[in-house]
Structure 1
Amino acid sequence: MTTAALEPRAARRCCTMLNSLHATHYFSPELSEELGALGVTHRRAANFAVRSAALGPVGAGTVTATFYNYKHELVARHVPAVWEIASPQDVLAARARAVDASMRRLLGADTVASGELAEAARLALRATEACSRSGRPLYSAHADLPVPEEPHLAYWYAGTLLREHRGDGHLAVLLAAGLDGLEAVVTHTATGKGMAPKWVFATRGWSQDDWDAAVERLRERGLLDAAGELTGAGVALRAEIEAETDRLDRAPYEHLGADGVARLTELAAGFAGTAVAAGAFPADLIGRS
């Protein structure tokens, strides 16, 4: 283990690159096919089932709490009913098959079998050795799952752990900042880096009225201006949120060390870029409109 100092945003960049590949499976036709074969045909039901399956057959309250930015009424339409269609164990197996197929399609057989991907898997798994279970339910549940033997699946698994580890910490920071789930999304979208409103409405269950009400609450707090842009206070709050999230998520990357983080980021950026170029995400997913 090394204690070399990390550049302030190095951990964030590394996790972002890892998450960029992890997130592709939520949009993959392979996931829809695998879940559909189990009888889970509604996309929202599939999304809730896939990400929460590691927790076991949980109810809507647990999913809403751990996912944070979904409208509870949408979650409750599909959870726990989805577990009557497919067990969490079957969903996890279907997810693994979908990830395998989608990674092979997006990255290509040569990359999947490459030494670089095997190296990235080793580095990412090493980083997970310093993750903490305390207060991190989604990370902890996924950490109970076995490490896949194939390097590309082990890389994806480690990326999942690092994503959920950062995500669980991020939710604690959002809660401390006084932002509810939709307010967190609205402020993130206002940075220009978050999900476009049309996708929030389609995937998170919120309506335009809900969005407008959240915008008004944020204006009253001085975080958004009349045009819906972040004010100086809003920019500062988002910066504080990310900085505190970084602080809570430093341990895995400090454990890996500066050189390891730099190499993992380089490899992960290459894999993510290949996947994006192959059409892994909808073109209009990110933005303000």
Structure 2
Amino acid sequence: MTTTLPPKAGRHCQGVLNPIHSTLYFSPDLDREFGALGFTDANAMRLAARSAPLGAVGPGPVAATFYNYNPELLARHLPAVWETASPAAVLDARLRTADATLRRLLGEETIASPELAEAAGLALEAAAACTPHARPLYAANADLPVPEEPHLAYWHAATLLREHRGDGHLAALLAAGLDPVEALVSHTATGKGMAPRWVLGTRGWGRSDWEAARERLRGRGILDADGELTESGARLRAELEETTDRLDTAPYEHLGAAGVARLTELGRGLLITAAGAGAFPADLLGKG
């Protein structure tokens, strides 16, 4: 597809929307809402929250759609989580969590603002051009009703756009020949991924898995002896993002250059507000 957008415009737009969805996974409101359902394990809560749109699935579909989680972690919690609460109950709790989280992070004045309503409308318009084929997580979320309140509609649209891009990114990872841990290690090496302790704690891999993946990447010339990306490795990660951009062009082409620029502007402001209110741990990103 020939793009009429400025270079990386869709990527930059999605980059300020994606974290709004992710505030859910670091929110104390998630622990409260899911604790009320009977969940006691943090990983079980987060796995249930993201996979609930797929239905009462087992570890196989989640391993396929999440890509970089340890199958042993998934098998420990799935399908057992659905004995604690049904997918429908989890989805209701997820939306309550998003409501409480965004109200706390953004404040009631922003929640009621015309700018947030405008951002929600633009994000939903972009998401209207997403397509379901070969995009299971996007498609599952697209089957859910759009919430009426603007801040929840914005969160829902951010979720759709996040999962649409993410589903395409998995195809790029497969084409690049990166297995789940290699994908995590090489992303962290860019300085833009989660720090190793967060990756290991949430994805279920051990330090030995991490080091083995680093050795494989060194053998391929992707990492150097110090674990930094080589020139070849940096080029590979850049190509991955470019491929993902190409597979994720439709929503932003549909919205148009002016709409993408405005949504990016509004989304950046909302993200700055949320981050400033403590949406994410200070040590979440980085190589250390």
Rounded to whole Å, the distance in 1 between the matches of 2:3 and 2:182 is 37
Once the two structures are TM-superposed, the CA of residue 4 in structure 1 deviates from its matched residue by 7.9
Does 2:116 align with 1:117? yes
Does 2:10 align with 1:11? yes
Rounded to whole Å, the distance in 2 between the matches of 1:4 and 1:198 is 39
Once the two structures are TM-superposed, the CA of residue 41 in structure 1 deviates from its matched residue by 1.6
Once the two structures are TM-superposed, the CA of residue 64 in structure 1 deviates from its matched residue by 1.0
Amino acid at match of 1:124: A
Rounded to whole Å, the distance in 2 between the matches of 1:80 and 1:276 is 33
Match of 2:42 in 1: 43
Deviations 1:191-213 (A, max 9, x none): 01111001111111111100000
Change (3 A) 1:146 1:232: same
Which structure 2 residue ranges, 5 or more long, are not aligned? none
Q: Which segments of structure 1 move beyond 2 Å, counting only runs of 4 or more?
A: none
Superposed, 1:138-153 pairs within 5 Å as: 138-153=137-152
Deviations 1:112-145 (A, max 9, x none): 0000000000000000111010100000000000
Once the two structures are TM-superposed, the CA of residue 235 in structure 1 deviates from its matched residue by 0.6
Amino acid at match of 2:110: T
Rounded to whole Å, the distance in 2 between the matches of 1:65 and 1:198 is 23
Does 2:214 align with 1:215? yes
Once the two structures are TM-superposed, the CA of residue 81 in structure 1 deviates from its matched residue by 0.3
Match of 1:262 in 2: 261
Superposed, 1:181-196 pairs within 5 Å as: 181-196=180-195
Match of 2:245 in 1: 246
Once the two structures are TM-superposed, the CA of residue 20 in structure 1 deviates from its matched residue by 1.6
Match of 2:87 in 1: 88
Once the two structures are TM-superposed, the CA of residue 256 in structure 1 deviates from its matched residue by 0.1
Once the two structures are TM-superposed, the CA of residue 40 in structure 1 deviates from its matched residue by 1.2
Once the two structures are TM-superposed, the CA of residue 255 in structure 1 deviates from its matched residue by 0.2
Rounded to whole Å, the distance in 1 between the matches of 2:31 and 2:139 is 26
Rounded to whole Å, the distance in 2 between the matches of 1:98 and 1:10 is 30
Match of 2:27 in 1: 28
Q: Secondary structure at the match of 2:194?
A: coil
Once the two structures are TM-superposed, the CA of residue 8 in structure 1 deviates from its matched residue by 1.4
- State the TM-score, normalized to the length of structure 2: 0.98
Q: Secondary structure at the match of 2:242?
A: helix
Superposed, 1:123-202 pairs within 5 Å as: 123-202=122-201
Q: Secondary structure at the match of 2:95?
A: helix
Q: Secondary structure at the match of 2:50?
A: helix
Superposed, 1:97-112 pairs within 5 Å as: 97-112=96-111
Which structure 1 residue ranges, 5 or more long, are not aligned? none
Rounded to whole Å, the distance in 2 between the matches of 1:78 and 1:163 is 24
- State the TM-score, normalized to the length of structure 1: 0.98
Rounded to whole Å, the distance in 1 between the matches of 2:21 and 2:263 is 14
Match of 2:69 in 1: 70
- Paired-residue identity, %: 67
